[in-house]
Each structure stands twice: as C-alpha cells, then as structure tokens.
Amino acid sequence: MGALIGLGLGLGLALVGLSWGRPRVIRASRPGRLAALLARAGASDVSVRALVGLSAAAAAVAGLVMLAASGVAAIAVVFAGLAGSLPYAVLRARATRRVREHAELWPDVVDNLASAVRAGLSLPEALIQVGERGPDSMRDPFVRFARDYQATGRFHDSLDLLKARLADPVGDRVVESLRVARDVGGGDLGRVLRTLSAYLRDDLRTRAEIEARQSWTVNGARLAVAAPWFVLLMMSVQRDVVERYASLAGAMVLGGGAVLSVLAYQLMMRIGRLPRARRVLA
C-alpha cells in the first residue's frame, strides 16, 4: 500500500513539473524568396540547394572559360557573376510568363467553378471538374487536388496543398472563398465568383494595354544595359586589347561598371513595374 502511495505521489509530482514547462508552439514556416520563386515558376519540385548549385556551377564554368580566353582575372570574375545570375534570371522570366499565362486563364477557371456551383455540385467536385475540363496548363494542380482529396478525404488540407501549388494571388482568393463557403455556407458563392471573373477580365485588359505601351521602353533599357558587356565579350578574345583591364585601375573600372549596370537595371525594373496583386494568407 505504501509503495502505491509513493508511486502515485511521484507520478503527480512529475506531471506538475512537466506542466510548468512552456508548451512549444509549432508554426508553419514561410517559404524563402527562392522557394517562393520556384513555386511561382512551376518548379516547386526543384530544391533551393539545386538552384544554388546550378548557379555556382555556371559561374565556375564561365569564369574558367573567360580566364582562358582573355587571361584577365577581373573579366573572368565579372562574367562569372553574370553566368551565376543567369539561372535566377531565367527562373524569374519563367515565373513572370507563367503568372501572365495564368492571368489569362483564370477568368475561364473561375467561370467553370461558378457554373459547377450553380449546377449544384459540391465544392470538392467543382475543383475536381476543373482538373478534367479546365484549361490544359491549369489542370495539373487540380488533378493533384483530386488525388489528395481522394486519398485523405480532408478538404482543408487538400486546399492548402492546392494553394501552395498554384502560388498565385487569384488562386489564393478562390481557395479562401471556397474555404469560407465550406465552413459557414456560401449561398452567394456563385455571385462572388462571377464578380471576380468580371474583375479579372477588366484588369487583364487594362494591364495588357499598359504593357504594350511600355514594352519598347523596357526592351530598349535592357539592350542599353547589356550592350557594353556584349562588346566586352567580343573584345575578350583579343588579349592585346583587354590587357589594360589586368591592372588595378582596369579592375576598378569593370567593378564600377558592373555595379552601375545592376543599379540601373534594378531602377529601370522598379520604375517600369506594374502593381502586382499580393497573395492572401500565404
């Protein structure tokens, strides 16, 4: 009897001691900038480590090639930096193109969802239908949603995965609207989706007009930034011409030119950038 009392007392003291510790709150970590860029570009299967490794390999190869061609270390370093940033630039261009393509397709996707809801389909069935009858380039995330929902039966978890795969502000609005409709009932969901579709079409039309007017200015600015480095690349095969860059003054000229080019390009992109919708609860 005494042993049982002692055991119970010890167990009680242990539980009291454990209750004094602060519980650990596990929070979902937000993806970094590179991870978010990979998601926007539709390359979420590629890891950030692989992207960094590719950039490092490209920089090393370009640096060695330019060092062998010109014999000037400063030129090799400059072109190594350019080559190292090339995968990131390609990824950004792909993400921009993918967002633009999705912006053109989202009104049709929203119309399909509104029609499915108006026809009396459940919200999971409406999303699954987009994977079967929606635009070809938009089907894959919804097909994966169907697999997730059929495997787990958890609508909210499947919506979270769909939202992460879409990585799109419009997709965030649609997903959150469906989530609220599932939680509290959405008698006005069809009207909300039709209003969103009309707004997306108007925004797409206005944005296309603005981009058409400013495209020649942006392309001209890009050409102005790239032209000096293209000329330097053509001159690198003539060692008697580029030997002057082997001095400290030449290296400073190249470094200053590289810094000014990056600053001018960033300034040009910031001035010419159109307002972009931000993601909701991402």
Residues 6+ apart with CB under 8 A from 210: 274
Looking at residue 56, what is its pLDDT?
A: 92
Q: What is the pLDDT of residues 80-104, one digit of tens each?
A: 988 898 888 888 888 888 878 878 8
Looking at residue 219, what is its pLDDT?
A: 80
Is residue 238 scored above 70 in pLDDT? Answer: yes
Is residue 252 scored above 60 in pLDDT? Answer: yes
Mean local confidence (pLDDT), 268-273? 76
Residue 35 · residue 48 · CB < 8 Å: yes
Is residue 21 scored above 50 in pLDDT? Answer: no
CA 164 to the chain's CA centroid: 10
Looking at residue 273, what is its pLDDT?
A: 72
Q: For residue 148, what are the domain limits?
A: 34-272
Token pair 């590629």 in the structure block, residue: 46
Q: Evaluate whether residue 155 is within a structural domain.
A: yes
Q: Evaluate whether residue 84 is within a structural domain.
A: yes
**Greater model confidence, 177 or 8:** 177
Tell me the C-alpha to C-alpha distance, in Å, between residue 80 and each of 39, 63, 89, 156, 199: 26, 4, 14, 46, 45
Q: In the numeric block, which tokens belong to residue 132? A: 């079967």
Token pair 């991402």 in the structure block, residue: 282
Looking at residue 19, what is its pLDDT?
A: 44
Q: In the numeric block, which tokens belong to residue 18? A: 């454990």
Listed range (76-80, 189-193, 259-263) with the worst mean pLDDT: 189-193
73-118 vs 248-272: helix crossing angle, rounded to 10: 20
Mean local confidence (pLDDT), 189-197? 80
Q: What is the pLDDT of residues 107-151, one digit of tens each?
A: 888 888 888 888 888 888 888 888 888 888 888 889 999 999 989
Q: Evaluate whether residue 28 is within a structural domain.
A: no
Q: How confident is the model at residue 6 (pLDDT cuts 50, 70, 90)?
A: very low
Structurally, the chain folds into a number of domains equal to 1
Q: Evaluate whether residue 177 is within a structural domain.
A: yes
Q: Evaluate whether residue 53 is within a structural domain.
A: yes
Q: Is 72 helix (H, G, I), strand (E, B) or coil?
A: coil
Q: What is the pLDDT of residues 24-74, one digit of tens each?
A: 333 334 557 788 788 777 777 788 888 889 899 999 999 898 888 888 888
Looking at residue 121, what is its pLDDT?
A: 83
Query: Which one-letter amino acid corresponds to residue 132?
Result: E
Q: Evaluate whether residue 113 is within a structural domain.
A: yes
Q: Evaluate whether residue 2 is within a structural domain.
A: no
Looking at residue 237, what is its pLDDT?
A: 75
Token pair 């029609």 in the structure block, residue: 115
Looking at residue 181, what is its pLDDT?
A: 76
Is residue 16 scored above 80 in pLDDT? Answer: no
Q: Evaluate whether residue 11 is within a structural domain.
A: no
**Model pTM above 0.85:** no
